[in-house]
Structure 1
Amino acid sequence: MLVNIHKAKTQLSKLIEAALAGEDVIIARGDKPVVRLVAMEQGAFKIGLLRDKKLGSGPDFLQPLDEEELGLWEGGGPSQAF
């Protein structure tokens, strides 16, 4: 399907539906084709992908760090000779 820019602006929803249905939609400036409207590939995105997995309990980020961990975060910690 070849349409000019004015028609594309007024009938964009219909053109999108046509592209989603697999139709080749080309928008032209005058008689020169300039843009092809194509549907984006729809992946099978799944929310809750790890819902059924046994992950165990993770770290409790709301608990205070012990002195050793706090020292490591603050740039201290054990000295190492290399």
Structure 2
Amino acid sequence: MQVTIHSAKTNLSKLIELAKAGEEVIIAKGKVPVAKIVPIPQHGFTIGLLKGKIKPGGPDFFEPMGEDELGLWEGKN
């Protein structure tokens, strides 16, 4: 589908919905195509994406630091 700039300004929401549905939307200045409206792929967030990929045994971030580690963090060592 090709529309003029004026028509695109008037019907932008409808044209975006058409592009999301897979329609190719071309915006033309006069009869010369100058832009295309294309959808951006939407990726859903997956909970548990790393489940089973992270091995246990790493540092326990909820345990207090030892004096040597604390000194490094505070810039004393």
TM over 0.5: yes
Question: CA offsets per residue over residues 21-40 of structure 1, 9 Å max, x none?
Answer: 11110001122110011111
Query: 1:75 offset after TM fit, Å?
Result: 3.6
Per the alignment, residue 80 of structure 1 pairs with: none
Residues 60, 41 of structure 1: alpha-carbon distance in 2 compared, 3 angstrom cutoff: same
Q: Distance in 1 between matches of 2:74 and 2:17?
A: 57
Per the alignment, residue 68 of structure 2 pairs with: 68
> How many correspondences in the alignment?
74
Q: Distance in 2 between matches of 1:24 and 1:68?
A: 62
Q: Distance in 1 between matches of 2:42 and 2:50?
A: 22
- 2:61 is matched by which residue type in structure 1? P
Runs of 4 or more consecutive aligned structure 1 residues displaced over 6 Å after TM superposition: none
Query: 1:52 offset after TM fit, Å?
Result: 5.8
Query: 1:42 offset after TM fit, Å?
Result: 2.4
Higher Cα radius of gyration: 1
Query: 1:50 offset after TM fit, Å?
Result: 4.8
